Amino acid sequence: MNILFDDNMPYAADFFSGLGKAKAFCAGQINGDDLARCEALLVRSTTKVDAKLIESAPNLEYVATATAGFNHIDIQALRQRSIKWYAAGGCNARAVAEYVTCGLFKLSVKHDFDLLSKSVGIVGVGNVGSALSSMLQSIGMKVVEYDPPRAQRDEHFESAPFDDVLKCDVISLHVPLVTQGDFPTLHMFNKQILNRLYPDQILINACRGEVLSNADLLECFEQNAHSMPRLILDCWEGEPCIDKRLLPYLSFATAHIAGHSLEGKANGTEMVYRDLCRHLNISPSLDLRQFLPKFDSNIAFEPVLQSTSNEQGVLTIVSKVIDCMYDIENDDSFFRRYMAKSDSFSEIRRNYPVRREWHAARIPLDHVQGNKKAAAILEKLGFSLTNDSRCA
């Protein structure tokens, strides 16, 4: 089988070379001759698999994206050619949940509020929303879940009223882009909804840019910025050419990288590999654990040795440990500097540095000595605590 795979899929050559003649391509630069011979096309979201591309691949029989979303794939065009397709749903759910949680802890320290007393409205309770809900509830936060489509297909799930979500201290968006049907999400958060929010709230979009109307958002900020909630924006309308006028109003701004942990991206590769094996009636022989590097033990987790029972002190400790793994402020700062000189953020995404998920780390217990509350929260967030000081 002739296989073309995006060169930004971690470990793709390792996974696919045993399934046929596998060749890498750079997004936006697929060779026409390669495409003409291609039987399996494996992409990420930067490659639009539209009718024109499909027409240029007469031998194509299988398409997969190593991403959870698949708006970049023309499903109807694939069906017309009877081409099988697959999307790696849930591959980066943990990464996005960590990104959102990191942003919340950072804001709680920055603005001196007790995060664990806040309520969180999760809009969309699929793979990502469920992961976030589980994470936040495990540390004691109140979560309100809103997902009417899931409630229709899952008798065990009850969706809260949308009005209850809008009253939450934090609102985090995790829905796919849906333009038709009973529950469209295109501009779900428009001027009318934004005007119902208040300054102490936090609004986060880490799903699809079009779910939050960027034009309405800018208009609301320009008209009355003091009445607007704090914003964390990872997904933008018009990517990769975004409206940079929003940047001064945002608490944190990033280049659609919430799910870009090494594990999140590599999970997508492995999931595509396993589905392609099913398509070829081959038993999978490879596992992601064979390829993931050992966690860099040189990362210095800052010891926080003072004892405190103060809730904000505990949150500060947790935030500092999280920062050692991933500091959203660093991404925000780099993004603002880069976008001041550029009209596109594609290169930021393509060259995004390695970020590991929290479960990869093992933190010496003496780093949280005297802080049992902080240690308990860290474990519930997925960190492993160890008596081995050599892990520092």
pLDDT in tens, 301-349: 665 545 556 777 788 888 888 998 999 999 999 999 999 988 778 889 8
Cβ-proximal residues to 15 (8 Å cutoff; 6+ apart), any chain: 269, 270, 272, 273, 286
Between CA 65 and CA 87 the distance in angstroms is: 5
Q: Within a 10 A sphere around the Cβ of 390, how many other Cβ atoms?
A: 8
Q: Say which of 145, 237, 239, 270 is annotated catalytic.
A: 239
Give the DSSP H/E element, type plus range, for residue 325.
helix 311-325
| pLDDT values of the chain reduced to their tens digit, one per residue, 392 residues | 999 999 999 999 999 999 999 999 998 899 999 999 999 999 998 899 999 999 999 999 999 999 998 989 999 999 999 999 999 999 999 999 999 999 999 999 999 999 999 999 999 999 999 999 999 999 999 999 999 999 999 999 999 999 999 999 999 999 999 999 999 999 999 999 999 999 999 999 999 999 999 999 999 999 999 999 999 999 999 998 899 999 999 999 999 999 999 999 999 999 999 999 999 999 999 999 999 998 876 566 665 545 556 777 788 888 888 998 999 999 999 999 999 988 778 889 888 999 999 999 888 777 666 678 888 899 999 998 877 655 44
CATH superfamily of 93-253: NAD(P)-binding Rossmann-like Domain (3.40.50.720)
Residue 379 phi, psi (nearest 5): -65, -40
Going by the DSSP 8-state scheme, the letter that residue 238 receives in this structure is T
Residue 240: asked if its preceding bond is cis (omega within 30°), the reply is yes
pTM over 0.75: yes
Residue 321 phi, psi (nearest 5): -65, -45
Cβ-proximal residues to 148 (8 Å cutoff; 6+ apart), any chain: 159, 182, 183
User: Whose CA is closest to 105, among 218, 221, 245, 252?
Assistant: 252
Between CA 3 and CA 20 the distance in angstroms is: 7
Q: Say which of 44, 187, 230, 256 is annotated catalytic.
A: 256
Residue 208 is a catalytic residue: yes
Widest CA span of the chain, in angstroms? Answer: 67
Question: Which pLDDT score is estimated for 307?
Answer: 55
Q: Say which of 94, 174, 187, 208 is annotated catalytic.
A: 208
CATH of 2-87, one of 2.40.30.10, 3.40.50.720, 3.30.750.210, 3.40.50.300: 3.40.50.720
Between CA 90 and CA 130 the distance in angstroms is: 10
Residue extents of the structural domains in the chain: 2-87, 93-253
Between CA 374 and CA 364 the distance in angstroms is: 13
For residue 177, the cross-strand partners are none
Cβ-proximal residues to 53 (8 Å cutoff; 6+ apart), any chain: 30, 35
List Cβ<8 Å contacts ≥24 apart for 217-225. 217/246, 218/243, 218/245, 218/246, 218/249, 219/191, 220/191, 220/194, 220/195, 221/246, 221/249, 225/249
Question: Which pLDDT score is estimated for 299?
Answer: 60
Residue 256 is a catalytic residue: yes
Residue 158 is a catalytic residue: no
* Residue 221 · residue 249 · CB < 8 Å: yes
Between CA 49 and CA 71 the distance in angstroms is: 9
- Three-state secondary structure of 87-103: ECCCCCHHHHHHHHHHH
